[in-house]
A and B are shown apart, each in its own frame.
Chain A
Amino acid sequence: MSKRIGMEIALAAAEVAALCRPDVIAAYPITPNTHIPEHLAEIVAEGHLDCEYLPVESEHSALSACAGASAVGARVFTATSSQGLLYMGEIVPIIPAMRLPIVMALGNRALSGPINIWNDHSDVMAVRDMGWICLFAANGQETIDMIVQAFKIGEDHRVMLPVLVNLDGFQLTHVVESMIMPDQEEVDKFLPPRKPYATVHPDNVVSMGTLGLPEIYTEAKKAEDEALINSKKVILEVWKEWEKTFGRKYEPIESYKTKDADVIMLTVGSMYETAAIAVDQLHKEGFKAGLLNMKLFRPFPADELKAAVKGARVLIVTDRAVMCGGAQAPVCAEVKSVLYDEPVRPAIVNEIIGLGGRDVRVDDFIKMFKKAATADKVKPERAYEIYGVRSS
């Protein structure tokens, strides 16, 4: 039986990862995800989980060891943040290309320069096009649910891809929340042991990670792209089954008060819950605000996005990363590209918020909504704004 618990989200993430019975865990410490691998090490040390836990010497080796273990057929889990993800960076695109399922919890943290341990999405945005399925949790409950779902999605033979479960550093990792934790029996029933498609083992000899000459590389990339696009079907299936089993609904884009909404905001990650309070307050003032939260970022839910913004006059896209020198911040760039061909589409405002742990409060969201209300008449000066930046 599932039971309600009150716990730091990172610890809960570790507990639920343990319930998934991973065979191999390899991780390297970096703030703010660290409590996840730490607690898993504790669970293994106490004998509650039969698992090879590799405290490796770098993130590069963490993901490399995960690749080797996954290739043998093990269920594999790892976690990291920010620079750690970038240090893995060389290996990140190789994992999906080799079709190796691995689940990684990413405690989102700003990329260095200047060094900063706090939350934004510059880490995940740097690897967004490297072939991983990307899920974003808005709270603790979604974090633990998504970790279980991620194994089931990634290991499905129709998918065979790694999955990134994004949870905002500190805002989620270090926050104590009330969550419903499934028990071992429930997780076992939902998530049977991994059945590998192929294993690097003498009983079934295979070569993995072969060389793709120019005659093959194009087709290999197409196959990989199709695999990621087609994973959506499985993701939706798994989410449906999850809802049926546990009663909690998941969809690529969650809507809040968007029916008849005039100005809609799109958030990704934990900002959703703060923005929702702003939407409630605006409604009291008669301002027809609506809110969308993107839970599935890769594969990109284009159809769901088009449907979700229908009827809105203005769409505010919030981003948690700067695409330095680019035309737009990353989420908005994609949103605009999806909506470009729509005959009727909202005016789009791009607000970059919450960089490197900068607080974004309810009144900030209210300000953004009010300011954007006229965006369809008065075009913003620039394609994007870094909200709240101090200027002289």
Chain B
Amino acid sequence: MKGIVENFDLYAPKLVDKEEYFSSGHRACQGCGEALAVRLMCKGLGKDTVITNATGCMEVISSLYPTTAWKLPWIHVAFPNSAAVGAGVESALKVLRRKGKIADRDVKTVSIGGDGGSVDIGFQAISGSMERGHNMIYVCFDNEAYMNTGIQRSGATPFGASTTTAPAGAASVGNKTWKKNMPEIMVAHNVPYVATACHSYPIDFINKVKKARSVKGPAYIHCLAVCPTGWRSSSDTCIKLGRLAVETGFFPLYEVENGKYRLTIEMPKKLRPVEDYLKLQGRFRHLTPDQMKQFQERVTLEYKKLMNKVKYSKSWLEM
């Protein structure tokens, strides 16, 4: 069982908010990493929060009328517009507070969506909301495909994953493109706080949510969420897979504060081979050693690029 409690503050669970803002009775699949990530995010946010939710798994599994799993005020309008609805919510909270029509205290607007609703169809709305500088957080829960509609490929799907619209076959490796680097695009929007996170590192994630909450202005968190159904992996390995994604360097955990990159968990001196990560997932089962090598090379390159930024980037505030 080596590795399981690595990087984990043993008794840290005692310190987190015990309130469950995302209640039991939601209809997520067994071992859903995204439901866990949402639950953890809410613990970081606390009660003075409004959630805007893009259409997708989390919306569907949490809001079957006449019930809701949410203990936080929550609104869903459509698929591509979570960030735009969030912009409206944030603006209304601001102006109504200014006019004395609602309580005079900080209420944070948090827009959430899956990878499809964020890096593909919701991209424009996020770009607009971040560029306009709304005082809000956007959290993308990235399970690397359109899982709600049945595992179709998105812009966040990694190379080689077999999906229903980019299936592996005699003439195809599966998905032919590399994962879109959404955090980097957010940094380019001059968003003062950008971070990556994963439910397998709950304290790291919750701390990032708290930090994002304290930012006056936009903040973006890109959270990798394991989807046992879509990844063709066993539900009990959900946390382990998230950890392997980090330890292989495939999905490093970092934050970018005012342009300054910093790794937020200690990375192993020598990264684990990506094969350790890929072999536990049915969606990569078909990869040949050559394709596996290709995957490894790209991960190594991306990791080097990141480490270069960690080493050389400086905070805008210090320039």
- Chain-A contact segment, one of B66-74, B180-188, B203-211, B250-258: B66-74
Mark each residue of chain B from 231 to 267: 1 if its CB lies under 8 Å from any CB of chain A, else 0: 0000000000000000000000000000000000000
- Using known A-B contacts A91-B77, A209-B77, determine if residue A64 contacts B68 with beta carbons closer than 8 Å: no
Identify the interface centre among A94, A193, A202, A216: most chain B CB within 10 Å of its CB: A202
**In terms of DSSP, what is the predominant structure of the interface of chain A?**
mixed
**Residue B80 interfacial (CB < 8 Å):** yes
**Residue B91 interfacial (CB < 8 Å):** yes
Select B103's contact among A203, A206, A212, beta carbons within 8 Å: A203
Inter-chain contact A202/B47, CB cutoff 8 Å: yes
Inter-chain contact A67/B77, CB cutoff 8 Å: yes
**Residue A307 interfacial (CB < 8 Å):** no
Identify the interface centre among B66, B72, B89: most chain A CB within 10 Å of its CB: B89
- Using known A-B contacts A68-B52, A68-B88, determine if residue A213 contacts B64 with beta carbons closer than 8 Å: yes
Mark each residue of chain A from 61 to 75: 1 if its CB lies under 8 Å from any CB of chain B, else 0: 110111111111110
**Residue A184 interfacial (CB < 8 Å):** no
Chain A residues, Cβ within 8 Å of B102: 72-73, 199, 201, 203
Chain A residues, Cβ within 8 Å of B78: 64, 90-91, 94
- Bound together, the chains give a CA A50 to CA B100 distance in angstroms of 12
- Bound together, the chains give a CA A31 to CA B138 distance in angstroms of 32
Mark each residue of chain A from 248 to 268: 1 if its CB lies under 8 Å from any CB of chain B, else 0: 000000000000000000000
Chain B residues, Cβ within 8 Å of A220: 65
Inter-chain contact B103/A68, CB cutoff 8 Å: no
- Chain-B contact segment, one of A51-59, A119-127, A279-287, A350-358: A51-59
Number of interface residues of A (CB under 8 A): 48
Inter-chain contact B75/A71, CB cutoff 8 Å: yes
- Using known A-B contacts A94-B77, A211-B64, determine if residue A57 contacts B125 with beta carbons closer than 8 Å: yes
Chain A residues, Cβ within 8 Å of B301: none
**Residue B29 interfacial (CB < 8 Å):** no
Select B70's contact among A54, A207, A211, beta carbons within 8 Å: A207
Chain B residues, Cβ within 8 Å of A67: 75, 77, 81, 85, 88
**Residue B297 interfacial (CB < 8 Å):** no
- Bound together, the chains give a CA A57 to CA B257 distance in angstroms of 26
Select A68's contact among B64, B68, B84, beta carbons within 8 Å: B84
Chain B contact patch, size range: 35 or more
Inter-chain contact A200/B77, CB cutoff 8 Å: no
**Residue A23 interfacial (CB < 8 Å):** yes
- Bound together, the chains give a CA A50 to CA B95 distance in angstroms of 8
**Residue A208 interfacial (CB < 8 Å):** yes
**Residue B166 interfacial (CB < 8 Å):** no
**Residue B86 interfacial (CB < 8 Å):** yes
Mark each residue of chain B from 31 to 69: 1 if its CB lies under 8 Å from any CB of chain A, else 0: 000000000000000011110110000011001111010
Question: What's the nearest-Cβ distance from chain B to residue A137, in Å?
Answer: 26
**Residue A335 interfacial (CB < 8 Å):** no
Chain B residues, Cβ within 8 Å of A51: 95
Select A69's contact among B91, B127, B129, beta carbons within 8 Å: B91
Inter-chain contact B76/A57, CB cutoff 8 Å: no
**Residue A24 interfacial (CB < 8 Å):** yes
Chain A residues, Cβ within 8 Å of B59: 211
Known: A24-B95, A57-B131, A213-B64. 16 other contacts (CB 8 A): A52-B95, A61-B81, A66-B88, A68-B75, A68-B77, A68-B89, A69-B92, A70-B92, A71-B92, A72-B89, A72-B96, A76-B88, A90-B79, A94-B78, A98-B77, A201-B50
9 pairs of A and B residues whose beta carbons are closest in the complex: A68-B88, A57-B128, A65-B88, A64-B84, A72-B92, A64-B81, A61-B84, A209-B76, A207-B68
